[in-house]
Amino acid sequence: MSILTALARAEAVESGRAQPLTTVRHTHIAERPLVLVPLSLAGEAAAPLAAIVGTEPDQPRLLVVANPRDRTQRFDFVAELARVVLSYVDGCARSVDTGAGGTKLRYAEAPQVIVPNRGGIEFVRLLGRSTRFRRPFGPYPVHRTVPILGQWLTFLRERADHPGSSMLLAMTEVLGNHWATGQSGLEDANLAALLGWIDPPGGLDGAAAAALAEDPLRSPPAGPSTDPTFDNEILAPALAAVARSDSDDFARERALAALTAAVADQMRPTWDLTWQAVRLLRGRPAGASVEARWAMDRDVFTMYHMALAEGTALPQPRRDSAVAAAGRLDRLEREQARYDAQRALDDPLVMAEFRLSGEAFTGTVVAASPNRVDTSGKKAALRPHITVQTEDPVRLEPGALLVSPARLAQQAMVVSVSSVDVVLELSKGMGRSTKQPAPGSVPEVGERVTYGPVTDAYQPPGRFPSRDDTPWTHGGPPPAVEYGPSDNDAAEDWS
Amino acid sequence: MTNVIDGILRDFGSAAGRGVVVDSPPGAGKSTLVVRAARTLAEAGERLMVVAQTNEQVDDLIDRLATAAPTLAIGRLSASTYVPAQRVIKHGTVTVSGAVGDMAASAVTIGTAAKWATVTDGSWERAIVDEAYQMRSDMLLRVAGRFSRALFVGDPGQLDPFSVVAVERWAGLSWDPMQSAVAVLLRHNPDLPVHRLPVSWRLPPSAAEVVSSAFYPFTPFEAGTKPADRRLEFSARALGGGARHDAALDETLETARRTGWALHELPARHTVRTDREAVAAIADLVTRLLQLGPVAYSEHAPDGRPVTVDRVAVGAAHRDQVAAIRQALAGTVAADVTVDTANRLQGREYDVTVILHPLSGRRDASAFHLEAGRLCVLASRHRHACVVVARAGIAELLDTHPSAEPVHLNVPVRFPDGWEANQAMLAHLSSS
């Protein structure tokens, strides 16, 4: 935990309200997100019990499996879920972004699926894994939409690993990135308690609201795991009643209604809380680069949607090969660096972390020589110097490269550091002239400036061998057979 | 020692097998081995590729190799931003270039792994990978296409490579890119010969035993010197003594002088990372040490050699701690003492080190702070003595935080366990 987060948490305890960690929202919230609250059956690897899903807070769609251990019923449920999710996904691909320019096609929207917590993301992964290799023919055939849903869920789950992507969000994590509460990180994983601190119901303070939220009768667990007492007292008898009523249609209908009502009671509070959180997040202004990151999400979505339609989508194998794993890690690391940089550049409160650790500073320009020319190299180059007076505890060494959020294209090199000021040498971003910088490109005396160690400049991807050139150190080339679903997939124990 | 090296060179020089792994504890002559292997192969007429992990390591290696073999043509492969170090250009036999094409005449071509990863053509029959345990397996994947057979040398007890992203996606896969290069190599080629250098020439007997049992429980090593070979003396009584504060410092330094270890314990307290009192204590200890005029007697200098600023180092876990300590030392006699993080101190050697315990003042013991390699690096840089500065209460902290890392299927268990190594180290320090 950084000093600033620790301070915000202490302040949250003292004031009884969560404290903001950011001045802006760093996560895109779509106009029409799809909220999904799943429940699974305790004791099973991936047996969905129920889900509540929808794009409008007042129109939840409730799906229930009458017998979660019955694979036919389970995949009937998946087919139902597929109808909702796939129509939502296709809806996002209906209109094209006309402002993008260039020849690249980009859809105007992309799916954004919001689950209440980290467990929800794991549920999406497992459901994707258990459905994407199934087929509408062969042993245990499923509805044709089931494997397509599996591919989309897998796609969404993989996007969730990408730093800065907003296509699959765990609400507790998004809130936790924006607010600090007076409780532990473990307690923050409870959506109801977390929201109790951020937006307590009338008259309560955060701690009291969070304490109330710990009562499983008031705020049932946000899933996918259910409350054990609910399992024993309500769910088990309800499932047994459905099982007993096999021959009697009337009794079965009644038992199903009772089961549905019971799980609906468990999920409805979480559904409402998730939408409450969506409203809270919408109420905050978006950071400057949120739109650019969402455009990246839309690009990826556009490519995958078209590839699926054309049948050219890359397979989603069970495991990454050595080359694929290394390439993916390289990409994730570059995205992480960029996301961290963009947040700091968008948000003075995030930059403050760097200022506290002495890696960044804010101050006033007290001297500037905008026309300074460096003639030591082969070609004379414009290299203005500015002196910034600051009270920040600067811990920078001469030679360090910095960027100012106000002038992203410009690079600043630390020339010298004293206890009161920092001298910087500027390069780039000053126009074409080698004598006169473009107006406004060099900070003037009296201007308040911030310089930090981060840049969101593009980093080229690493170079990796092709799959067929996997070296002997990593087991040599993998088997040449392209991966595809087979009959064996349907016979997996747990699917 | 010579026998071990001969055995390694025989294995590596033979036509059978694709690689040789050499595990080397701290200061066991790893660089000597690399230089000798490079020389032997180059003199036999073979073109050799050498991969190190940082520019610093590459420059050190070139300096040593060029000094040992003054007629050998060496190529230094480098990025465009690299400024050649003085110790590299002083050797007339070294060619510095960013293009591998310029190295055609070089018998030995040396570069960082990151630079080698950009090379797309050319292949070498044999390669030496230095500090292979610091290399991540995805980096090995990128450079392994350039060579057919390789000698992997490194210290298994040091810090594992890390990533800024936390992804469990590949846990259990034999080619998990988050593992070290050697781990992946051995999982795919379990029959490769693994040699061990059995003797540490750096660590004094007082340290070799402790470090060996705490961090290398199943592959012990011993010191190459006898207790009588190493001695530290203070040639001056410090100026302006008398204050109680100084008495505590002197006592700590005296213990370190006598036993090779000292624990400078501050009152228990939860602090921020840049604990002001701990930083001040380190600064006081280092300046006091230099004022005492320490002289080191060793097998290299039986008549004593003064311990000057360049022979003293301060180590800490975090960069902000390093910055704070540097600031505290600025303007004192110890201003030029090396202060760095464990990551950057890997492979360096000093006479006396002062380290800030990674768990000092913490409320929790996270995996980062428990990592055995971090403490191992910090506690194994010295030839004579090591002073550990810590808040009291680390033992209790460890007891309340047993390691709770998730266990994944098919992931080999790593030894030593950080929690246990920390306890072993602490037990020894408290008893000294």
Do B150 and B172 form a contact (C-beta atoms < 8 A)? Answer: no
Q: Are B167 and A161 a contacting pair at CB < 8 A? A: yes
Q: Which helix (H) or strand (E) holds A267?
A: helix A249-282
d(CA B198, CA A64): 65
What mean pLDDT, rounded, does chain B reach?
A: 90
The pLDDT of B97-115, averaged and rounded, is 91
B145 inside 8 A of chain A by CB = yes
Q: Are A463 and B18 a contacting pair at CB < 8 A? A: no
Please say if the pLDDT value at position A326 is more than 90. Answer: yes
Local confidence band at A494 (pLDDT 50, 70, 90 cut-offs)? low
Local confidence band at B160 (pLDDT 50, 70, 90 cut-offs)? confident
Number of Cβ within a 10 Å radius of residue B401: 17
Task: Give chain B positions within 8 Å (CB) of A472.
Answer: 18, 144, 188-189
For A207-247, what is each residue's pLDDT tens digit? 999 999 999 888 999 989 999 999 999 999 999 999 898 78
B179 inside 8 A of chain A by CB = no
Would you call B261 helix, strand, or coil by DSSP?
Answer: strand
According to DSSP, residue B11 is labeled H
B368 inside 8 A of chain A by CB = no
Please say if the pLDDT value at position B242 is more than 60. Answer: no
Q: What is the b/e burial string over A445-463, where b = at least 16 CB atoms within 10 angstroms of the residue's CB?
A: eeeebbbbebbbeeeeebe
Please say if the pLDDT value at position A436 is more than 90. Answer: no
> Could you tell me which chain B residue has the CA closest to the CA of A327?
B138
For A54-81, what is each residue's pLDDT tens digit? 999 999 999 999 888 888 899 999 999 9
> Could you tell me which chain A residue has the CA closest to the CA of B138?
A326
Tell me which amino acid residue B238 is.
A
- At B168 the pLDDT is 86
d(CA A14, CA A164): 32
DSSP E strands in B168-280: the ranges are: 194-196, 199-200, 222-223, 231-234, 261-266
Local confidence band at A310 (pLDDT 50, 70, 90 cut-offs)? very high
Please say if the pLDDT value at position B241 is more than 70. Answer: no
Find the chain A residues whose C-beta atoms sit closer than 8 A to any C-beta of B.
3, 6, 161, 163, 319-323, 325-326, 328-330, 332-333, 336-337, 357-358, 395, 462-465, 469-476
Alpha helices in A283-414 (DSSP H): 290-310, 322-346, 348-356
The pLDDT of A296-302, averaged and rounded, is 95
B188 CA: distance to closest CA in chain A (Å): 5
What mean pLDDT, rounded, does chain A reach?
A: 91
Q: Is B97 left (phi over 0), alpha (psi -120 to 50) or beta?
A: beta
Q: Are B142 and A462 a contacting pair at CB < 8 A? A: yes
Number of Cβ within a 10 Å radius of residue B274: 25
DSSP A15-32: HTS-EES-SSB-S---SS
Please state, in angstroms and as integers, the Cα–Cα distance from residue A400 to each residue in A417, A425, B64, following that order.
11, 11, 29
Task: Give chain B positions within 8 Å (CB) of A162.
Answer: none
Q: Are A472 and B189 a contacting pair at CB < 8 A? A: yes
> Could you tell me which chain B residue has the CA closest to the CA of A356?
B320
Task: Give chain A positions within 8 Å (CB) of B123.
Answer: none
DSSP B169-200: TTTT-TT-TTSBHHHHHHHH-TTS-EEE--EE
Q: What is the pTM of this model?
A: 0.91
Q: What is the b/e burial string over B156-176, where b = at least 16 CB atoms within 10 angstroms of the residue's CB?
A: bbbbbbeeebebebbeebbbb
The region of weakest confidence among A369-378, A456-465, A478-487 is A478-487
Q: Are B167 and A332 a contacting pair at CB < 8 A? A: yes
Size of interface A-B (CB pairs under 8 A): 99
Nearest to B175 among A357, A464, A475 (CB): A475
For B48-75, what is each residue's pLDDT tens digit? 999 999 998 999 999 999 999 999 999 9
Task: Give A88 or B100, the one with higher predicted confidence.
Answer: A88
d(CA A81, CA A219): 25
- At B48 the pLDDT is 93
For B395-425, what is each residue's pLDDT tens digit? 999 998 877 778 888 888 877 888 889 999 9
Please state, in angstroms and as integers, the Cα–Cα distance from residue B238 to each residue in A346, A369, B37, B231, following that order.
53, 49, 47, 19
Q: Are A464 and B142 a contacting pair at CB < 8 A? A: yes
For A142-179, what is each residue's pLDDT tens digit? 999 999 999 999 999 999 999 999 999 999 999 999 99
- At A313 the pLDDT is 84
- At B238 the pLDDT is 55
Q: Are A329 and B138 a contacting pair at CB < 8 A? A: yes
Task: Give A408's Cβ-side CA count (13 Å radius).
Answer: 12
- At A288 the pLDDT is 94
Which residues lie closer than 8 Å to A445 by C-beta, 6 or more apart? A365, A366, A367, A368
For B255-308, what is each residue's pLDDT tens digit? 999 999 999 999 999 998 889 999 999 999 999 999 999 999 999 999 999 999
